[in-house]
Structures are given as structure tokens and as C-alpha cells.
Amino acid sequence: MDNRPIGVFDSGLGGLTCVKQLMSVMPNEDIVYFGDTARVPYGNRSRETIVRYTRDDISFLLEHDIKIIIAACGTASSVALPYIDDVGVKVIGVLEPACRAALKRTRNGRIGVIGTASTIKSDKYAQIIASIEPSAKVFSAACPMFVPVVENGYADTEVARIVARDYLAGLKNEGVDTLILGCTHYPLLEGVIGDIMGDGVELISSGREAAEYCRSFLDGHGLLAGRDGKGNSEFYVSDDPESFTQLGGLFLGREIELSVNRAMI
């Protein structure tokens, strides 16, 4: 048993959808979350910049004596993690768990992936899927407007539907039956995306699958918390804590009860 906290980082708010899933599957675990809100978004940055930011995020979490890290950011997972050396604890990205879930659930072997421009350009989802099941077909679409749509409160509006119809048209035409939501902001658009793609397409949340993988890894290595009762969560951001607190509840699915701390990185 290990009562040290789980560390989670993202470029901003989206990783809270992963924290929400962690709280659901492992309610007695402590969590330390870092959102790099001063430098969001990562999705339109160069590879070198994304790698540098990711190293900063990991270094900050390591200061809190964590036992495992989740890179709850599709961009950091796809672009930066291949260039991150061993940091002394397990670092989980959101790609492979989502890929394995999609392969398990697809019926026709045609899998769609949506994400930020950097995530899609990296082609990492397709590479991982091909390494596991070469016969699977992967079709990808960058959806750069989804993040600002969500963060500005337009997730369940006609604005979101107009943008989503345009982004998803090609994937619908390709006949995918499984769609990986390759950014942790996208679960807030799950209803809109599901309506457009139709009942025959299963949506795979990268944050949810990463949380399930984290639970399995900790259990398999004897690292689950041994305490009874609900774990504690700490939230840190690199910019305005007040703004994060106001929007954070939307992603977390509940009010952020504790104060959000400003971190200098």
C-alpha cells in the first residue's frame, strides 16, 4: 500500500475530466493536479516547446512526493512523452489506454481519432494502433476550435454543433464505428459529438481510459492507498486561480471545494 498522491498535469482545465474519473474509480486516493494555465494551449506549439513545458510540469509534480504521474493532455502525451527520460516514477500518457480500448470495442476495425493540431500531426494514435493491430484503419481529424468552444461555455450550444459537424463530416463518411476523444476537453462535447456521429459509433474518452489504466497499474504493483474514506485533492495553476476555480467545476463535475494555489514554474 502507498498513500502518496497521484500526480496529474495538463496544459489547463481539460485534465480535470481525468481527475473526475480518478475520483470515481479510486475515491480514497490523494491527487495533486497541476494546470499550466499561463501557457495554455499546448496544441499549437512547436515540439521543442511542448517538451520543455512537459518537463516543467513533471518537475513540479515530483516536488509533491507523488507515486505516479498522468499526463492528462493529449498533446503532451503524443508529442512530448517520447522525449521524456525516466523521472523515477511511472508516467502514464492518455494515448495507449485509449487505443487499446478502441481496438477492444471496434466491430469493423475503422477507428476515428480527434485531437488538437499537434496531437493529430504527431500521428501517435495511428502508430500505437498499428503496432497492436496492423489491420485496423485509423482516420484522424484535428479539431482546434473545440477547446475554446468548451472553455468559453459553448459546449452545449448550436455554435458547438456547427463546428462539430464540420470537423466530423470526414470521419462519418469513412464509416468509423469507434471514435477516440484525444483531448481531455472533449468529454464536455460528448453529447454533441455523439449526436452527430450517431448511435452506431462508440466514443472513447482518453481521460477515462487513463484513469482505469492507472487503477490497474497501482493495484498490480501494490501501490493503491491503504486508507479508508475519501482522499484529498490539491489544485495548482500557473496563472489566475480564481478563473480556474470558476471553470474547473464544469470539467470536474462538482464544485472545487478547496482553494486553488498559484504555482511558480
Q: Which positions are catalytic?
A: 73, 183
Whole-Å CA distances, 124 to 11, 21, 129: 19, 23, 8
**Cell triple for 42:** 499546448
**Cell triple for 9:** 498535469
Number of CB atoms found within 10 A of residue 254's CB: 12
- Are the beta carbons of 27 and 231 closer than 8 angstroms? yes
Report the alpha-carbon distance of residue 230 to residue 198 in Å, rounded.
Answer: 37
CA 161, 165, 170 angle in degrees (round to 5)? 160
Rounded to a whole number of angstroms, the distance between the first and last alpha carbons of the chain is 31
**Cell triple for 75:** 498533446
**Cell triple for 95:** 494515448
**What does the DSSP 8-state code read for residue 238?**
S
- The H or E element that residue 98 is part of is helix 95-105
Report the alpha-carbon distance of residue 204 to residue 190 in Å, rounded.
Answer: 10
- Are the beta carbons of 238 and 35 closer than 8 angstroms? yes
Report the alpha-carbon distance of residue 75 to residue 119 in Å, rounded.
Answer: 5
Q: Is 175 left (phi over 0), alpha (psi -120 to 50) or beta?
A: left
* Residue 46 β-bridge partners: none
